[in-house]
Structure 1
Amino acid sequence: MWTVPKPKYRNALSEEGDITVNIGGVRVVLFGDDLKRYPESRLAELSNCSAHNPELISTLCDDFDPGRNEFYFDRDPDSFKCIIDVYYFDEIHIKSGICPICFIKEMEFWKIDQSVLDECCKSYLSEKEEELKEIANKVKAILEDLDVDQCITRTQRCQRYLWRLMEKPDSSLAARIIAIASFLSILVSAVVMCVSTIPELQVKNAEGKLVEHPTMEAIETVCMLWFTTEFVLRLASSPNKVRFALSIMNIIDFMAIMPFYVVLSLTLLGTTSMMELVNVQQAVQALRIMRIARIFKLARHSSGLQTLTYALKRSLKELGLLLMYMGVGIFVFSALAYTMEQSHPETLFRSIPQSFWWAIITMTTVGYGDIYPKTTLGKCNAAVSFLCGVIAIALPIHPIINNFVVFYNKQKVLETAAKHEVELMELKSGGQARKKGQE
């Protein structure tokens, strides 16, 4: 909102220091008193500049008409309409339809500091700057992939080629085949882990206990060898080993591989002195359960799963509100259910903590059925609890879906923009090469 009424422009100069500017064909008369509020700006310097100093004037504007005493600028008039607001209202608001990055360049040309931007425009500008940084990083990654042959040493060329082969499925046919093989290995390993627990497919060992079928173990071993080889090659070819080791997806890969070798070590050691330890078998079973971590390796090969993960990160506030609503509802309705059901001789609600389970399955509309109310008031309380649960779960769904759609579309736009930027760079380099050839 404007704090003071905006003054009208005069039709002619009436005071010393007033100037006439022509911005892209739009002629405007500006007051010298207003321009002096920002003495370091370009317009303030023009108002203090004498018409008999053409050298200084030429450095401040594109052209000057001494007869009309008019300064010409080949700039965007729409952006200038926003710029001049700072002289009257001490703040600038970027109007819709104007690129914020281009507007910042306009502010730099008119020598106006970015601190005068409105708060909403600053946040919008920061988002655009982050997008430009992401585009620059994507362009840098694409250029690095294209510049494999420009590495200094043969070792560097091999390392870069191996990195592309293991991490960039779109870089070549071989890289795509490796990505597909890795994806299938994950699926096969997950299926084998599940199928091996079926009693009909298990065999008995020397002690008469059911263990995994040797065929399943063989398939599991082959898959783990593939995962190990893949992880070692990716680690060896990584340009930044520390960043590689601290990556979430690489940590998951390591956690999926590590239990296999720990179990193998415990099994080999258990054949001698450690066989007497009962905890060895329990440790082996616990480490076998950790094999389920390999299913998260699918996220490394699926952009959709990665987008879903990032969208959930951006929706932590909505998820936190959901958990808070559910937590309050669970506590209230479980306490009410315990109180109302105490009058029934065959009550299933023995304590409030035990009632938490009933409140959880009721508010989430699961209805397991092991605990249920038997009194009329308890049934009414149950009806209200699952209605409140449906509402509490449904409310944050739309913001979470919206965050996912926005982030997914943004990633698609950034990838397209990065590819276009690379194409423009290639066209410019080709044009420069043709000019040198003609010379």
Structure 2
Amino acid sequence: MVPASSLEELSGDGSDCSEEVEITVNVGGIRQVLYGDVLNRYPETRLAELVNCMAGGYDAIFSLCDDYDPGKKEFYFDRDPDAFKCIIEVYLYGEVHMKKGICPICFKNEMDFWRVDLDLLDDCCKSHLNEKNLELEEIAKRVQTILDDLGGDTSESKWKRFQKCLWKFMEKPESSFPARITAILSFLFILISSTVMCIGTIPEMQVEDLQGNHVEHPTLDSIETVCIGWFTLEYLLRLISSPNRLHFALSFMNIIDVLAILPFYVSIILTNLGATIMGLTNVQQAIQALRIMRIARIFKLARHSSGLQTLTYALKSSFKELGLLLMYLAVGIFVFSALGYTMEQSHPDTLFKSIPQSFWWAIITMTTVGYGDIYPKTTLGKLNAATSFLCGVIAIALPIHPIINNFVKYYNKQRVLETATKHELELMELHSNGGYLGTNGSSKELSEGRGLSVGAHMKVSHSDTFIQALTEEKHHRTRLQSCK
């Protein structure tokens, strides 16, 4: 207990509240002397209030710090000293910079504790913090999705519950063993259908119809019909079970599914009814054009391949680099094709008939393809070709590295998010079972038969990377106030 004399001395000494007073703070074992005139530059912060709280007694002091030594007049804080060294700079420089290696979310919590406005954080550090917030939001969404799958709302109708189960069965192969088998079957049907489409173009595998035209073998047609039947059933089940059918129908991958299915039914309609509307030759041409659209089904593999999804995202996030690549190539193609046309005009057997025709030569030269159908014959033309080749290699190589970095960055980020999601669920499970597992506990027990308990205890458990998006409750560290 603090002596009463010390309490009277503290409350009666008004000079301690002046701007010239200096205070000693001990943050995580690191002592530092601070001056009131400097701290009062930001009067709403915790340290500035600490300078001016002496007259309020120990109740006012302990509302701001964790402990206080009246003999040394030293204030104790159980906080991160490295983060405090960054935050104290706001009183000297008017802005806060976050040191490398400090967790952005933890640093934001430190700023909230010291009551430093987040707007004082430097812009470069804000971008890092925003990126971390987005990652936590993504983890929160994944955790919430898993919890929603584990639990169920008994107040919902049977149809709603059936719809959710069907959606999880069709869209989440990891949810159950039958769902995983269905996903594998869907993947195999895509491969079989694509293989049949390729084999059907081999002349030896074709037969003649009544008109003497070569058509696909009936066996291949039967296999194609079975595959289309599977794709149709799969699409209809996913459409029926979708929570938002309009969003489902307008999704890019679902449009690909429709384009892979639709040509089959349209060709049947044209075959049976088109002959009475238009000539037989026009019907066959329309059917051939529609059958080419079957190549769209190969894009269905992206639904089952995380690698293809990662590649798609990397290309989507690399539009700027791809635009630069196309711009470099476009400028080079125009320049070298014009030079090639000009330099080759003196040769009687020139292959460069016009500048637009020279565009083809410039494209295959700068991309290092070199078909050889168009080539220079003069010495200057060959020098121009060598220069265009070297410039093409440089133009293609420069933007490739950022594109590869985007791919690696997104791939690693997805792995980190998956690991963090599992970590958060395991911590929730640990808290829901009394905060620890026994010696016989295993990781398998964490994932079997405990879904409802995880959902029930979700709001009272958190980890060192606490996801605030999962709960509205505020959690604070327990603090020692021994002298209070």
Equivalent residue in structure 2 for 1:219, among 217, 223, 231: 223
After TM superposition, give the deviation of residue 194 of structure 1 in Å.
Answer: 1.2
Aligned positions of 1:242-321 closer than 5 A: 242-271=246-275, 273-276=276-279, 279-321=282-324
The answer to whether the Cα contact below 8 Å between 1:83 and 1:107 also exists between their aligned partners in 2 is yes
Q: Does 2:367 match 1:364?
A: yes
Following superposition, the deviation at residue 181 of structure 1 comes to: 0.6
Name the stretch that deviates more: 141-150 or 176-185.
141-150
- Aligned pair partner of 1:322 in 304, 313, 325: 325
Cross-structure match for 1:422: 425
More divergent stretch after superposition (318-327 vs 179-188) = 318-327
Counterpart for residue 347 of structure 1 = 350
Deviations along 1:180-239, one digit per CA (max 9) or x if unpaired, are 110110011111111111222212222221122211111111101100101111111122
Query: Structure 1 length as normaliser, TM-score?
Result: 0.91
Secondary structure of 1:68's aligned partner: coil
Matched, 1:45 2:49: yes
CA distance in 2, matches of 1:394, 1:216: 44
Q: CA deviation at 1:274?
A: 1.3
**Structure 1, 397-406 or 77-86: larger mean CA deviation:** 397-406
1:173-212 alignment runs, 5 A limit: 173-212=177-216
Amino acid of the structure 1 residue aligned with 2:184 = I
Letter of the structure 2 residue corresponding to residue 74 of structure 1:
D
Q: Distance in 2 between matches of 1:39 and 1:241?
A: 55
What whole-Å deviation, never above 9, does each CA across 1:229-268 have from its counterpart, x for those lacking one? 0111111112232332232211211221122222222222
- Residue 145 of structure 1 is aligned with which of 146, 149, 160? 149
Q: Which amino acid in structure 2 is aligned with residue 329 of structure 1?
A: G
Please state how far the C-alpha of 1:68 moved relative to its aligned partner. 2.5
Are the aligned partners of 1:249 and 1:300 in contact in 2 as well (CA < 8 Å)? Answer: yes
Report the CA distance shift for 1:51/1:22 in structure 2 as closer, same or farther (over 3 A): farther
| TM-aligned CA deviation for residue 309 of structure 1 | 0.9
Whether the 8 Å contact between 1:92 and 1:118 is mirrored in structure 2 is yes
3-state SS of 2:24 partner: strand
Structure 1: 4+ residue segments shifted above 4 A? 12-15, 148-151
Whether 2:111 is the aligned partner of 1:107: answer yes
The number of equivalent residue pairs is 422
8 Å Cα contact 2:174/2:180 also seen in 1: yes
Give the C-alpha shift of residue 133 in structure 1: 1.1
Measure, in 2, the Cα distance between the counterparts of 1:36 and 1:365. Answer: 67
> Any conservation in 2 of the 1:148–1:161 contact (CA below 8 Å)?
no
Specify the alignment match of 1:404 in structure 2: 407
Partner of 1:55: 59
Structure of higher RCO (CA pairs closer than 8 Å, 6+ residues apart): 2
Paired amino acid for 2:418:
E
Checking the alignment, whether the CA contact within 8 Å between 2:17 and 2:54 is kept in structure 1 is no
1:430 offset after TM fit, Å? Answer: 1.6
Using the alignment, how far apart are the partners of 1:150 and 1:44 within structure 2? Answer: 53
| Contact kept in structure 2, 1:362 and 1:385, CA below 8 Å | yes
Q: TM-score, normalised by structure 2?
A: 0.83
Match of 1:233 in 2: 237
**Equivalent position SS for 1:21:** strand
1:365-409 CA distances to partner (integer Å, 9 max, x unpaired)? 111111111111111111111111112212222222222112111
Q: How far does residue 90 in structure 1 lie from its aligned partner after superposition?
A: 0.6
Using the alignment, how far apart are the partners of 2:95 and 2:345 within structure 1? 66
Whether the 8 Å CA contact 1:307–1:407 is kept in 2: the answer is yes
**8 A contact 1:322–1:393 mirrored in 2:** yes
Deviation at 1:151, TM superposition (A): 6.8
Matched with 2:339 is 336
**1:64 pairs with 2:64:** no
The 8 Å contact of residues 139 and 420 in structure 2, kept in 1 or not, is answered as: yes
Task: State the distance in 2 between where 1:26 and 1:91 align.
Answer: 22
Cα shift readout 1:267-313 (whole Å, capped 9, x = no counterpart): 22224x21437544333222211111100000100001111111112
How far does residue 51 in structure 1 lie from its aligned partner after superposition?
4.0
In structure 2, the gaps of 5 or more residues are 1-15, 436-452, 458-484
CA contact (8 A) 1:148 1:160 kept: no
1-structure distance, mates of 2:433, 2:167: 28
Q: Identity over aligned residues, as a percent?
A: 70
Alignment correspondent of 2:170: 166
* Amino acid aligned to 1:158: F
Q: Which residue of 2 aligns with 1:9?
A: none
Q: How many Å separate the matches in 2 of 1:379 and 1:131? A: 53
The question of whether the paired residues in 1 share the 8 Å contact of 2:17 and 2:55 is answered with no
CA deviations on 1:44-71 (whole Å, 9 max, x unpaired) are 1111212443222222222223333222
3-state DSSP of counterpart to 1:395: helix
Q: Distance in 1 between matches of 2:261 and 2:155?
A: 33
Structure 2 residue matching 1:39: 3-state secondary structure: coil
Looking at structure 2, the residues matched to 296 and 327 of structure 1 have their Cα atoms a distance apart, in angstroms, of 29
* Stretch of structure 1 that moved more, 48-57 or 180-189: 48-57
Choose 220-229 or 394-403, whichever is displaced more.
Answer: 394-403
State how far apart, in whole Å, the 2-side matches of 1:240 and 1:169 are.
20
1-structure distance, mates of 2:28, 2:302: 52
Q: Which residue of the partner structure matches residue 5 of structure 1?
A: none
SS of the counterpart of 1:53? helix
Give the aligned partner of residue 130 of structure 2: 126
Contact 1:204 1:211 in 2 (8 A): yes
The alignment partner of 2:138 has SS state of: helix
Distance 1:94 1:52 in 2: 33
Q: Which residue of 2 aligns with 1:31?
A: 35
Q: CA RMSD of the aligned region, Å?
A: 2.0
